[in-house]
Amino acid sequence: MSKKPAKKAATKAVKTCSFGRAWVGKCGQPSTTANRCKDHRGLKCSSCGRAATSECGETQGPFVCGAPLCDRCEHALAPNGTNSGSKHIRKGAQKYKSWWNQNDDEKLQGKYLMLKRDLSGYDRVAALVGGEKGQEYLSARAEQRRRIAAELTLLEMEHPVLVGLSEEA
């Protein structure tokens, strides 16, 4: 008879981490406190700061977002209705519709706002880098920035209603 001997430790159930890994399911590593392993203990939701229960499973190309989230929050849609960007938001509080659900006006606004987002992205990086290096970063990308700005101007000329539209509004 080659029956496996009953595990002695059966009475002392091993607790495992219940944190939801993106595209994987429950983490399952041994947990010490509050059903969390050492990797997932104390993680805060990147949207609201409550205790995180899972990773964001939105994919951007080959990458998974992976930001820690609580049950009430989700990845924020960008103005063009894609999951571009790394913002997270309360469920039910999405500012923009999914791309497949946008009407022509919303698509136009989305295009305009995404261009603005791209343009301000350069300034944000430059500000982060700071000083002379920041200026170098901007001048190295003068051509791209000029092209985006020209596209914005063109859109504003064709659709004056867009002028002044911003993501903050």
Q: Of the candidates 43, 67, 115, 155, which one interacts with Zn ion according to CB under 5 A?
A: 67
Strands of 30-84 (E only): list them.
54-55, 59-60, 63-64, 68-69, 73-75
Residue 105 CB, nearest approach to Zn ion (Å): 27
Nearer to Zn ion, 39 or 123 (CB): 39
Asked if 117 interacts with Zn ion (CB under 5 A), we say no
Site membership for Zn ion, residue 17 (CB under 5 A): yes
Does position 75 interact with Zn ion (CB under 5 A)? The reply is yes
95 or 133, CB closer to Zn ion? Answer: 95
Judged by CB, which is closer to Zn ion: 31, or 152?
31
Q: How many helices (H) and strands (E) does the chain have?
A: 3, 8
Residue from 20, 27, 68, 122 binding Zn ion (CB under 5 A): 27
167: CB partners within 8 A, 6+ apart = 79, 95, 113, 116, 117
Distance CA 44, CA 97 (A): 27
| Cα 120 to chain centroid, rounded | 18
Residue in 20, 43, 47, 113 binding Zn ion, rule: CB under 5 A: 47
Give the Cα separation of 154 and 108 in Å (integer). Answer: 12
Residues linked to residue 73 through DSSP beta bridges, in sequence order? 90
Instruction: Candidates 43, 53, 54, 56: give the one binding Zn ion (CB under 5 A).
Output: 56
* Tokens 């080659």, residue located: 2
Q: Closest distance between Zn ion and the C-beta of residue 80, in Å? A: 16
Residues that bind Zn ion (CB under 5 A): 17, 19, 27, 29, 37, 39-40, 45, 47-48, 50, 56, 58, 65, 67, 70, 73, 75
